[in-house]
Amino acid sequence: MAKTKQEMDSKLAPGEARSRGKQIQDLLDEETVEVPWQLRDAEYTYLGSEPLDRDHYISQEWCDKETENLWSRVWQLACFEQDIPEVGDHIVYDIVDWSFILVRTEPDTIKAFYNSCLHRGRRLCTNELEPANKPEFRCPFHGITWNVDGSLKAIPPSIEFDFPHVDKEEFGLPEVKCERWDGFVFINIDDDAEPLMDFLGDITKHFERWPFANRWKATHSAKIVDSNWKLAQEAFMEAFHVLATHPQMSIGLLGGDGSNTEYNIYDNGDANWSRMTMAPPMPNPNLPYELTEQELIEEMFFRGESVSEMGVQKMAGSAEDLPEGMTTRKLLADAARKNGPNGFVGGEPTDVELTSAIQYHIFPNISPWPGPIFYRHRPYGRDPDKCIMEIMMMVSLPEGAERPPAAKINWLGPDEHFGNIFNQDVENVAQVQRGLKAAKPPGGLTLGNYQDIKVRWHHRLLEKWVNREI
């Protein structure tokens, strides 16, 4: 007598159970081109099933500890090199109480300075909305001026007599550690921090396949969201919320409910990066009826009303016009190959790369994709109930094409939205934030063993930083 999946799962060790249907590695076995090693590097470690402390999201005390022990010591993305392409170009990066000026001081040199006048402490630059270019940084309060390389330029003659104790050679703007990788500009407030490349680890080898340095930041939207920064970010660390949160995607658009997503954590969960790969469009194995590939194609391309939300062009005609045996993911992959460019390096792109949502996460707060989407989430000051959510589109350009200017930040108001699907996530996390406060104390959160592994990994690292174990 055949055993049910539930009976088979009951004999597995914790964290070994998987949804029914094809897994990502099964799909890679079917590829007709060479599969890059990055996709086969699929580590996973069970990290236990203990409840997650809700104070990580709602406690002011915990929020303050993050400020003291995480944001003051961790490498964090401040901007992209293309944001400040010319000498004198600068941009302001704020995190919690701190403010920094990122400036290109020479054609191939970028420095970061504390955004504070050494006289009375006024912010030197106040334009957080977009990059700008200046030959100097002049304090609007009393007029003391610094060169773009941070050296003192002048103390106004009318007040210079009153500062005989100032060593002008030593009165430069204090720098913060600033290092670059693949077009990203990172800062670290801790003068004794490990080198950026040591912190990033092997993710740098993974993105040799999907480099960022030559991409174009085509859009950059930001919004203040009514949730903790971790909640907003963790909405994108798992895919099985699709069925309930995004019902328009679960059958027609993606042909699945996210349950076949592959989750990867590395170095037994100690690496500062992780990954998830959401299965490409294929018949949903969890439907109460069997959906064929032809029916899925019909649903997606000839009847689906939501395909345009994800940039998939609706097709005219009938699925009967398609070759026999054609799969949805193959149809999408072939179309992507024709549309190009994809920016992949080291061999032909696989169908999985062209049709799946592959999302990496670099601790603590950025999510680069091999595809064009890029997320960053930041605290909003010291308020544990709010955060800044940013979505960017990092577009690959044809070889030899001139890169247009990077998009400036478009700050969305309270009644403006990223888009229908993203707005569903924003509404969700705001209600989660409220729900966490409504829970009976002490109120731990029960996570899934596998599908929530990235969330557990994130808090595992977070606790190590906050408790100063790192």
Domains of the chain: residue spans and CATH: 18-53+213-466 (3.90.380), 76-192 (2.102.10.10)
What is the pLDDT, as a whole number, of residue 129? Answer: 57
Beta strands in 327-380 (DSSP E): 357-362, 366-368, 373-380
- Measured in degrees and rounded to the nearest 5, phi and psi for residue 385 equal -100, 5
- Distance in angstroms (rounded) separating the CA atoms of residues 455 and 28: 26
* Maximum average pLDDT range among 3-17, 65-79, 336-350: 65-79
DSSP letters, 22-62, are: --HHHHHHT-SSPPPHHHH---------PPEETHHHH-HHH
Q: What is the reported pTM?
A: 0.92
pLDDT tens digits, residue range 409-426? 999 999 999 988 888 888
Average pLDDT over residues 53-68: 97
271: tokens are: 């690496």
Q: Cβ distance 283 to 293 under 8 Å?
A: yes
What is d(CA 355, CA 5) in angstroms, rounded to the nearest whole number? 28
- Label residue 330 by pLDDT band (50, 70, 90): confident
Q: How many residues does the chain have?
A: 470
For residue 153, is pLDDT > 60? yes
Q: Are 264 and 271 within 8 A, CB to CB?
A: no
Q: Is 317 exposed, middle or buried (0-12, 13-18, 19+ CB in 10 A)?
A: exposed
Res. 208: pLDDT tops 70 = yes
Mean pLDDT value across the chain: 90
From residue 35, give the alpha-carbon distance in Å to each of 232, 331, 348, 465.
33, 19, 9, 36
Token pair 């977009």 in the structure block, residue: 130
**Candidate from 2-6, 200-204, 305-309, 417-421 with smallest mean pLDDT:** 305-309
> Which amino acid is present at 109?
T
- Spatial distance between the Cα atoms of 41 and 203, rounded to a whole number of angstroms: 11
Torsion sign across C-alpha atoms 453, 454, 457, 463: negative
pLDDT value of residue 21: 86
Residue 7's pLDDT band, with cuts at 50, 70 and 90, is low
CB-facing half-sphere around the CA of 455: CA atoms within 13 A = 28
| Residue indicated by tokens 């030959």 | 135
Strand 98-106 to strand 444-445: parallel, antiparallel, or no bridges (unpaired)?
Answer: unpaired
Asked if the model's pLDDT at residue 314 lies above 90, the reply is no
pLDDT computed for residue 281 by the predictor: 81
Q: Tens digit of pLDDT for each residue in 337-372?
A: 888 778 899 999 999 999 999 999 999 999 999 999
For residue 460, count other CB atoms closer than 10 A to its CB: 16
Q: Please report the pLDDT score of residue 252 as a whole number.
A: 43
Q: Is the pLDDT of residue 234 over 90?
A: yes
CA distances 420 to 236, 261, 301, 374, Å, are 15, 22, 19, 17
Distance (Å, whole) CA 377 – CA 388: 6
Pick the closest to residue 125 from 171, 177, 89 (CA basis): 89
Q: How confident is the model at residue 302 (pLDDT cuts 50, 70, 90)?
A: low
Percent of the chain residues topping a pLDDT of 70: 90
Of the ranges 104-113, 272-281, 335-344, which is most confident? 104-113
Question: What does the alpha-carbon distance between residue 308 and residue 12 come to, in Å, rounded to a whole number?
Answer: 41
Chain position carrying tokens 């990502």: 24
Percent of the chain with pLDDT over 90: 73
131/370: higher pLDDT: 370
